[in-house]
A and B are shown apart, each in its own frame.
Chain A
Amino acid sequence: MRKLVTVFLCVFFALCQLAAQNKTITGKVTDAEGKPVAGASVQVKGTKQGVSANDAGIFTISVPTTATTLSISGVGLVAQDVRIGTSTVLNVSMVSSDKNLDEVVVVAYGTAKKSTNTGSQGVVGAKDIAQRPISNVNQALEGAIPGVITGTANGQPGSGVSIRVRGFGSINASSDPLFVVDGVPYVGGTSNINPDDVESTTVLKDASATALYGSRAANGVIMITTKKGKKGRNNISMRMLQGQTSRGLEEYQRVDAFQYYPMMWEAYRNSLVYPTTGVGISLDSANRVASGLTTRTGIHGLLTYNPFNVPNNAIVGTNGRLNPNAQLIYGDDLDWTKELISTGNRQEYNINFSGGSDKSDYFLSLSHLDDKGYTLRSDLKRSTLRLNVNINPLSWVKTGLNVTGNFATSNQASDGGSTSFVNPFFFTRNMGPIYPVYAHNMTTGAYLLDATGNRFWDLGNMGAQGLGISNRPSGASSGRHALAETRLNNENYRRTVVSARNFVDITFLKDFKFTNNISVDYQTQYDASYQNTLVGDGAPAGRSSRDYSSNMGFITSQLLNYNKKLGDHRIDVLVGREAFNQYQEALGGFKQGQSLSGNTELGNFTTINSSTSSVDRYRIESYFSRANYDYKGKYFVSGSIRRDGNSRFAAESRWGTFWSVGGGWNIEKENFMKNVSFVNQLKLRSSYGVVGVADGIGLYAYQGLYGFANNANDPGIVQSQTAFLNKSLTWETNKQFDIGLDFALFKNRLTGSVEYYHRVSADLLFAVPQPLSSGALTVNQNTATMFNKGIELQLNGDVLKTKDFVWNMNLNLSTVVNQITKMPESVPDFVTGTKKYQVGVSIFDYWLRTYYGVDPTDGAPLFVAQSTAANASRRLITNKNGGLDTLTTDISNGKFEYQGSTIPDFYGSFTQSVTYKQFTLSALFMFQVGGLTYDQNYASLMAVGTSYGAAYHTDILNRWQKPGDITNVPRLDAGRSAQFNGASSRWLIDASYFNIRTVNLSYNLPKSLTNRMKVNNGQFFISIENALFSSKRIGLNNQQAFSGVTSNAYPPARVFTVGVSLNL
């Protein structure tokens, strides 16, 4: 067939040649490295006559003798005009547009030439994620763009990272950026999107870039653009990844069984010597009591389990040391993570077909992801398909449909509540190291077996069952069992997403283009949850819930573009209108009392706990306009304005106007720069604008409401304590100033930018607390003000570049300063958790009691005293300067002070990429310097009190033991643990970190091989995500939350992957 076509074409061309006085030119199109450019378009300038180069880059074109110039272009290359000389051979070397400074960038409602764009934005391209095993596209933003702070992804498969663009914009409303997918605000999560379909992710940072999104853009806009077919090149692309997931972050270091018993003994002994009320007993007596040598309860009686082969009253001697003969009798069964946390598999398959002709292009992709987390019952299976077709049915009409479908199922680990027993990370982290997973004979240590000869779980409350097993004490989660609960419970969802984007472009009167966009995002999710009858929250009845929800976004917009070039002047005007309509439905049922085992559907349960339904609508109507003007590509200005009406606000307050102005100057185009040959680009740009925030506020936040509250079967309603009519409630506004310098030097070998921004967030929505006696809790008001400012630096350069060897380096550095400048009049300061808001500090400044150290005389902790009046807890200590510090051992008399901030001095990332011949090794490093983390997880591992049985951190080994000991860890004292180890500056730790986010080694198949395999190109690669976490404390993740407070969340996953990609 192919031959036939070739013959036909040859004859056809031959005949054509006869018809005109033509000559034939042949040649080869190569890229900068000398490789052939397949499919390059070769056209006679000024005509429609043209051909494409073949796979070897060879073209043959017949041109009229009158023709003088050929235009040559190719995907990813800078178009070139070549003069036709007398020769009939014309070889052309093309320059890659990777370094082409006039590339096109994605902007609000369209694209723009980068060189004359006034906005500040950063881009992550498809090639940046092609070799990374990421399941959520927003993970690609980690460390990629200065000014963007990301949290670490939770290890739950498919979970994304939280993102802050240029500081922290809001207090009670949302600080999340707006996600826009293929030009339309997206309704749904980014985990719905197949990362392999993504062409680019662009972060719009300044007001000039975002103002066209008006009321929702104050926290930045993230524009995800999916791939489309390229003209002139049909392509089949395949990508396959196989990987293994494991825990990326180590566990905190904790004491073992041998260390644990003496520590708990000491905590108990000390509580007898220093009782909270009354007079203590002597040290000797207390030693004997604690060891269990008296009639009083010994330490074994409190811990209730003896994992050693020595008698219960001989585990710890009166000297506080473990019996030297003690050996573990069930030592193989003390690791609670063994069955819960191991490794998982991750598999990903992608194939796409793409191509295009003059009149149409298409992109069709299929993908399947099977990502098993490293904990039991935690996974994501996702299949997606996408079809993006664009056609040009008439010369003045262009239209396209980009539609995607997605089906996902997922089991979710129960890490929602940081201290809920069912959370496997909380449970295993804090379980004392002497409690076994399975039931054992407490004398021999042998596993107990049930009637069927199998081991069974020790649920920690089997004391009454005559098995010789005690109940675990409350500190060891008595009656709970994370492994059993994870195995027997069920938390999963099924999600189906359909998303479509359509546009129709009509060009008319030469310079006008009208575009109509219609888009639908529709997502349904079915959540199933079951808690078993044996152990945990559902026991003994068993309970089950089913929740069905749908979320639909229907968005239409009409855009009119006018684009005119008059000599040196270029004008580009856009006017548009958009209607955003979101519709959410929910239906849920929750029952308990399981009838038959095995079936978890609601019909199998007897008692209705709740049945609910709701419908919610969110709507925005917008009108907007933008005008760009540039003169000779040298000076350019732009302005935009948008008017939004938002259903979250009362009719009186729902319309707002947002705007921006920006300007720029391409200095390198000036005459005086002509001789400065090492400068290829020098662009100064600046902008100012006002944008808004409405998201994160309740959908009906301005309305006064009564909620449903039936009394038995009588219908009832009750006043909301937070929803009071406030017709003046309106947007938060962000006023942002931005100035930046973009540069390219030394033949574009060194590129970069440096920027400064100052962003004032005014009318911040604040849930202003009210007197409780008014019956209200909080009322939403626009009152507070704060600013974020910072400097951003990006540098990218080829450090070394030879024919075979390229070493590229990219550096991002950012700073952010956040400060509150106005608080509500009635609430000049406001304490929330570990922070206190007030004028002059940031929203992330810690407000805690000041920990001073340990009193060497009795090991009591010392806090700086708030009331320095003499009392029993007051201590005076001589400080370094010879003065006296007034301290207290009573934490409730400790003084609250500002203790520094979560926000780092600076943060950033660098990427190293080394290419040698076919090999490329690259790595992304992320770091932060300064800032403080409040390590809540560590605090609870250091504070085991009257609830005996919880785990201790190894730092407990440094505790105060006898008068004169100098240490920072107070006396172990079960009776005073809460008081000794309460919230204070003691739990703050330097948040500096250095992480290796991803390492990647790839091998490009050489041409000799690809030719033989009949593929265009191919790659093998190995990659490791989350290769290294390095912080001031093992187990500590400083990026877990922007607030800086750690919790027992699912630690990030390390993913080791091998992959192959082929292009046919």
Chain B
Amino acid sequence: MKKNIFILLVFSALIFSSCKKEFLDTYSTTAVAADDALSSTQNATAALNGMHRIMYTQYDAQGQSGEGACNLFRDYMGEDIVFPLANGSQGHLGWVQWQNHRNVNSGDMRFVYRFYYRLISNANVLINGIDAVPGAAASKNMIKGQALVYRAWAHFQLVQLWGERYRAGANNSQLGVPLLLTNTLEGQPRATVEAVYTQINKDLDQAIVLLAGYTRTGSAAKSNLDINVARGVKARVALVQENWDVAATNAAAARASFPLMTNADYVRGFNDISNAEWIWGSRQISDHNTFFFSYFAYISSNFNSTVIRTQPRAVNANLFNALPTTDIRRSVFDLTGAGTVIPPGGARVPFQNKKFLASSDALSIGDVPYMRSAEMLLIEAEARARQGQTLAAQTALFTLMRNRMPNYVQSTSTGQTLLNEIYFNRRAELWGEGHRFTDLKRLNLPMSRVGIANHVIALIQVQEIPAGDVRWQFLFPQDEMNQNKAMVQNPL
């Protein structure tokens, strides 16, 4: 009897001990469900902040650190960044050699493509979903406005690299890049360059309206895209499209509240977002350590990485030599390397770069500059000069140069001479900030390293690329070709 009661007990316990239905529902604690991103404006703001973060996180491999890396890649393809040592580190060398963007299997090239579309995909979630999120209109405008600037800017970066150059006044029916306005896993075809620019302008114009009342706050304020950033991007786009007046007025508006930095600030390492003239940049704090992959792990003079120790970056000797000794910008390069802050055991080379400094030799973090007033002044000067408003151009250039070189006398040059002066100062001012490749491409100029003494020919292999060469177009990564049936490759 005792036994039967016992058995009965066990069986009844068994029947009731069956698992609850929720037993099999488990959730990650290091991630949140995708739906939650749009459950409140607070969460949507977090999804926006995540986009600011992925501007400087690591992607597939060492040296792929968001927009900072893309900036470097574009400048390596020009003539002004020099890899000075034949037996030094070969990290990133494939860009200098014009190999990576023409190799469909290049991991670095794939990363560039992936990075911009990642931003677009994240932006689309917010652009297309924010209207239905409960919350204050001001917050929603801020979120949607920023997401639109991201989407426009990312498409702009893509079309400049993968599309043929924009020809102002012509029919730009050449193929650009896929326009992703809603998220889909279905492969999208390439839109024409014209269509891409039309959408970029549409997104920017809408963003400028939405961001009108928004003021950035917090320690990472300048990593947000406010109306000034939107205008700055608009100015860059207009410069490519040769809409000179739009370029000049937007550039002027974008920099209005960002006075040029002092000469003392100029030599502090280009790593501080609080610098007066920075309009847009990433803000990095120490627990976002970027180790050996970051922008500064490749372009600073002082971080203790194999790259910096054995292949410190140098400036084009000709560019350096052309800078007057009174120009503060000359002092961010070092003729002998003797006065450069280097990591332990690092090499010293002629024309060594010291423009960029990492937080320390042990910490590769630093705020990454994306847009500064100086660039806006140069856009204004170039646009006005191309418009024929010579005085306005000379004045804009003077505004910048008076700051950089106290004894600078306002230029009296005109026409191409004036433009050349502007272009020279663009190179001197924006070294390492990612403008050289796209400048050469939009201006339809050749890339030439001929006669630059400190380039190591055996290392760089490529000395000259004629204007209009097919190599000015990036190839689409093999992964995109494989998965996107609608995709057409650029001419090989």
Contact = CB atoms under 8 A, between A and B. Distances in A.
**Best-surrounded residue of A646, A714, A776 (most CB of chain B within 10 A):** A714
Interface stretch (B115-123, B259-267, B349-357): B115-123
Contacts of B223: 711-712
Contacts of A647: 23-26
Interface string B442-480: 000000000000000111010100000000000001011
Contacts of A327: none
A130 interface: no
B31 interface: yes
Contacts of B363: 541, 592-593, 607
Interface stretch (A354-362, A441-449, A473-481): A473-481
A152 to B, nearest CB: 29
Contacts of A975: 458
Contacts of A478: 306, 309-310, 345
Contacts of B34: 703-706, 719, 724-725
Interface stretch (A68-76, A613-621, A933-941): A613-621
B24 A771 contact: no
A514 to B, nearest CB: 7
B113 interface: yes
Contact of A474 (B218, B306, B479): B306
Interface string A762-778: 00000001111111110
A723 B30 CA distance: 13
Interface residues of A, number: 97
Nearest to B48: A716
Interface residues of B, number: 97
Interface string B105-119: 000001001100110
B268 to A, nearest CB: 19
A705 B479 contact: no
A946 B51 CA distance: 39
A826 interface: yes
Contacts of B457: 277-278
A827 B482 contact: yes
A579 B18 CA distance: 9
B90 interface: yes
Interface in A917-969: 946-949
A949 B89 CA distance: 13
Contact of B477 (A475, A506, A772): A772
A460 B306 CA distance: 12
Contacts of A827: 482-483
Contacts of B483: 769-772, 826-827
Contacts of B89: 474
**Best-surrounded residue of A607, A616, A777, A947 (most CB of chain B within 10 A):** A607
A462 B309 CA distance: 12
Contacts of A460: 345
B114 A772 contact: yes
B187 A773 contact: yes
Nearest to A716: B49
Contacts of B309: 461, 478-479
A770 B170 CA distance: 35
B133 interface: no
**Best-surrounded residue of B3, B345, B479 (most CB of chain A within 10 A):** B345
Nearest to A769: B483
Contacts of A475: 87
B168 interface: no
B47 A717 contact: yes
Contacts of B36: 706
B402 interface: no
A710 interface: yes
Contacts of B3: 396, 508
B488 interface: no
Contact of B33 (A705, A711, A775): A705
Interface stretch (B202-210, B278-286, B426-434): B278-286
B29 interface: yes
B370 to A, nearest CB: 14
A459 interface: yes
B201 to A, nearest CB: 21
**Best-surrounded residue of A297, A396, A471, A612 (most CB of chain B within 10 A):** A471
A88 interface: no
B28 A710 contact: no
B289 interface: yes
Given A461-B309, A770-B483, A775 B345 contact: no
B331 to A, nearest CB: 23
A598 interface: no
Interface stretch (B6-14, B137-145, B234-242, B409-417): B6-14
A713 interface: yes
B289 A703 contact: no
Contacts of A707: 30-31
Contact of B10 (A278, A297, A506): A506
Interface stretch (B70-78, B178-186, B245-253, B389-397): B178-186
A514 B3 CA distance: 12
A620 B23 CA distance: 9
Contact of B24 (A516, A654, A713): A654
A473 B345 contact: no
Interface in B178-229: 178, 180, 183-188, 218-220, 223
A608 interface: yes
A651 interface: yes
Nearest to B158: A773
B184 A774 contact: yes
Given A713-B219, A714-B49, A777-B114, A646 B306 contact: no
A613 B30 CA distance: 8
A909 B178 CA distance: 57
A558 B7 CA distance: 13
Given A558-B14, A608-B287, A708 B87 contact: no
Contacts of B306: 474, 478-480
A461 B285 contact: no
B183 A774 contact: yes
B2 to A, nearest CB: 9
Nearest to B14: A558
Contact of A714 (B30, B110, B218, B477): B218
B98 to A, nearest CB: 12
B420 interface: no
A700 B223 CA distance: 32
Nearest to A463: B345
A452 interface: no
A654 B22 CA distance: 12
Contact of B30 (A463, A614, A703, A716): A614
B362 interface: yes
Contacts of B289: 590, 592, 607, 609-610
Contacts of A948: 87
Contact of A721 (B118, B125, B459): B118
B50 interface: yes
B344 interface: yes
A946 to B, nearest CB: 7
Contact of A718 (B11, B35, B54): B54
B187 A619 contact: no
B360 interface: yes
A546 B439 CA distance: 48
Contacts of A461: 309, 344-346
A413 to B, nearest CB: 22
A621 to B, nearest CB: 5
17 contacts: A271-B458, A278-B457, A506-B7, A508-B3, A540-B361, A541-B363, A610-B289, A647-B26, A707-B30, A718-B50, A770-B483, A771-B188, A772-B477, A772-B479, A773-B480, A774-B184, A946-B459
Interface of A: 271, 275-278, 297, 302, 396, 459-464, 471, 473-475, 478-480, 506, 508, 514, 516, 537, 539-541, 558, 577, 579, 581, 590, 592-593, 607-621, 645-647, 651, 654, 699-700, 703-721, 723-725, 769-777, 779, 826-827, 946-949, 975
Complex A-B, nearest 9 residue pairs according to Cβ-Cβ distance, in ascending order: A775-B121, A461-B345, A541-B362, A716-B49, A718-B50, A704-B34, A712-B220, A771-B484, A716-B50
